[in-house]
Structures are given as C-alpha cells and as structure tokens.
C-alpha cells in the first residue's frame, strides 16, 4: 500500500486522495495555492518580517509597532525614547 508523500500516512481507501497524497494534504495543497494566488493578486499581504499572512485590512504586529513609532515621530515634539520610558 502507498504512503502519502507529504505526511507519510498509510493511504487507505478512505483517506487516499491519489496514489501519492492523502485528502488532508491535498486540501492543504489547494489551500496554499489559493493563498498564494490571493497574495499575487493583492488580496492578501505576507509580512516580509515574520512571514505571517494578512488580509488587506489587517496588519501584522511587526508593522503596527513601527506605525506607532512613526506616528509619534511625526506628531509629537517629544522624543520617542521619552515616550517609551514614560511611567
């Protein structure tokens, strides 16, 4: 009997998608391709910093913190360091 080339599960009739893949792995495959497609057309964004994938409206925490610093820099005469140390 064949095993799934991805997760090495024994491909019994109820779980075999093909000779090489089980259903869960096939679904994951399709999901990954779909996500890559969405990134390509700009519906999803992949964070270059941590690799997390976000939809158009959400932003990664990596950037949120940068955005806050940027906001502080551009809107306040107080230095960033002073704000971060503020008790």
Give residues in contact with Zn ion (CB under 5 A). 4, 6-7, 9, 22, 25, 47, 49-50, 60, 62
Q: How far is the CB of 47 from Zn ion (least distance, A)?
A: 3
Residue 6 CB contacts under 8 Å (≥ 6 apart), including other chains? 21, 22, 25, 28, 29
Q: How far is the CB of 43 from Zn ion (least distance, A)?
A: 18
Are the C-beta atoms of 67 and 59 separated by less than 8 Å?
Answer: yes
- CB-nearer residue toward Zn ion: 9 or 38: 9
Q: How far is the CB of 37 from Zn ion (least distance, A)?
A: 21
């Amino acid at each position: 009997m064949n095993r799934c080339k991805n997760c090495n599960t024994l491909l019994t009739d109820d779980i075999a998608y093909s000779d090489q893949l089980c259903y869960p792995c096939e679904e994951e495959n399709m999901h990954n391709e779909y996500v890559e497609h969405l990134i390509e057309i700009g519906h999803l964004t992949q964070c270059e910093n941590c690799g997390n994938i976000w939809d158009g409206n959400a932003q990664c925490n990596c950037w949120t913190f940068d955005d806050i610093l940027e906001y502080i820099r551009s809107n306040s005469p107080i230095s960033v360091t002073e704000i971060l140390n503020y008790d």
